[in-house]
Amino acid sequence: MLYNKDMTNSRTPRRTQAERTRASKEKIIRAAMEFFAKQGYRGATLAEIAKAANLTEPGLLHHFPSKNHLLMAVLAERDRMDRERFDLSGMDDEEALFTSAQQLVEHNETVPGLVKLFTTLVAESVQEEHPSHEFFMRRYQKVREQVIDVLRDGQEKGKVRADISAEDLAVMIYAMMDGLQVQWLYEPEKIDMAGIFERFIQLLQVKL
């Protein structure tokens, strides 16, 4: 009897609860991404996010104590997904860099919701008081840093055009990505985001 009780009340249920919590959190984050993308951070409401995750609002707030905490979790998740898809740290050479960047843009064309999330939040967060202002500022600094060295190597090897500094090239690459996303989000059928980005990338390389 005592033995049985231990099995059911202590060991097994404890693991199930933990799993359920994790599953709930993931469901909430996915729902939050959707609504932050659709309406921005300010425009999205906890009630609709909770509902999409099959919860009530206080149910959601049990997992994330405030809307702000939820945003941070969403950004962390977005970062994790990005790293999976496009990790530039430890990138070998400029060829791998350009290929990866190109693949990222091609992938983005298949996930308009995530692109909208990023575009909306980045612009909203330009405001210094915005809860994710620091996050995005550091993010730009980080991703630019990651590519500068590779670009400079490429310039020294004569593969990347050297009439523009590696620092400025890094800014340009992300500026073009971001800018294309905006026009593409307005008219996905009309704007060939990946195609145009590819032509841009070719501009940065030295022709053989």
Binding site for DNA (CB under 7 A): 17-18, 20-21, 24, 44-47, 50, 54-59, 61-63, 65-68
The two tokens of residue 88 are 């530039």
Select from its own copies, DNA, none the partner in contact with residue 12, using the beta carbon and a kind-dependent cut-off of 5 to 8 Å.
none
Contact partner, 162, from DNA, its own copies, none, Cβ < 5-8 Å per class: none
Query: 164 with 148: CB under 8 angstroms?
Result: no
Residue 20 binds which one of DNA, its own copies, none, with CB within 5 to 8 A depending on kind? Answer: DNA
Report in angstroms how near the CB of residue 25 gets to its own copies at its nearest.
26
In the complex, what is the shortest distance from the CB of residue 132 to DNA, in angstroms, rounded to a whole number? Answer: 14
102-115 exposure pattern, b = at least 16 Cβ within 10 A, e = fewer:
eebbeebbeeeebb
Q: Do 86 and 177 form a contact (C-beta atoms < 8 A)?
A: no
Q: Which is nearer to its own copies, 59 or 179 (CB)?
A: 179
Which residues are near its own copies by CB under 8 A?
A: 38-40, 42-43, 116, 119-120, 122-124, 126-127, 136-137, 140-141, 163-164, 168, 171-172, 174-180, 182-183, 185-187, 191-192, 195-196, 199-200, 203
Instruction: Decide which of DNA, its own copies, none touches 57; Cβ closer than 5 to 8 Å per partner kind.
Output: DNA
Within 13 Å of residue 202, how many CA atoms lie on the same side as its CB? 8
Between 35 and 64, name the residue whose CB sits nearer to its own copies.
Answer: 35
Using alpha carbons, select from 104, 203, 196, 200 the residue that is nearest to residue 146: 104
Residue 55 vs 97, nearer CB to its own copies: 97
Q: How deeply is 153 buried, as exposed, middle or buried, from its count of CB atoms within 10 A (0-12, 13-18, 19+)?
A: middle
Q: Residue 91 or residue 121: which is nearer to DNA going by CB?
A: 121
Helix axes 166-186, 193-203, angle to 10 degrees: 160
Rounded to the nearest angstrom, the gap between the alpha carbon of residue 200 and the centroid of all alpha carbons in its chain is 22
86 vs 200, beta carbon nearer its own copies? 200
